Amino acid sequence: MNNAMLIVNPNSGKKEGRALSERVAAHLGEHFPNVDVRLSSCAADVEVWAREAREREYDALFVMGGDGTVAKTAACRPSVCFLAARATGWLVLSALRPMP
């Protein structure tokens, strides 16, 4: 696996997304030679980038944000996606594989 995309909502969770994304990207870089970090400014960004990750056949798509960011990503039906959402103080990670 070579290519990963990390989509981040920098305003999620007390606006800590940008700082946390740097740490996450560094960790992902230990596993993927190419990590493409995208900081969203609106919901449309998330949809465009999730589709791009699917169309360009990224090996993995990681998403950091709240419920809206996660829902927008899931709606684009990526082939493999790892979602991180902060909800009530917990960090939730799940693998998402769309139905055929």
Phi, psi of 36 (to 5 degrees): -100, 110
Supply the mean pLDDT for the chain: 76
Judge whether residue 100 has pLDDT over 90. Answer: no
Give the integer Cα–Cα distance in Å for 97 and 43: 21
Which of the four pLDDT bands, split at 50, 70 and 90, describes residue 92? very low
pTM above 0.85, yes or no: no
Consecutive H or E run containing 20:
helix 17-29
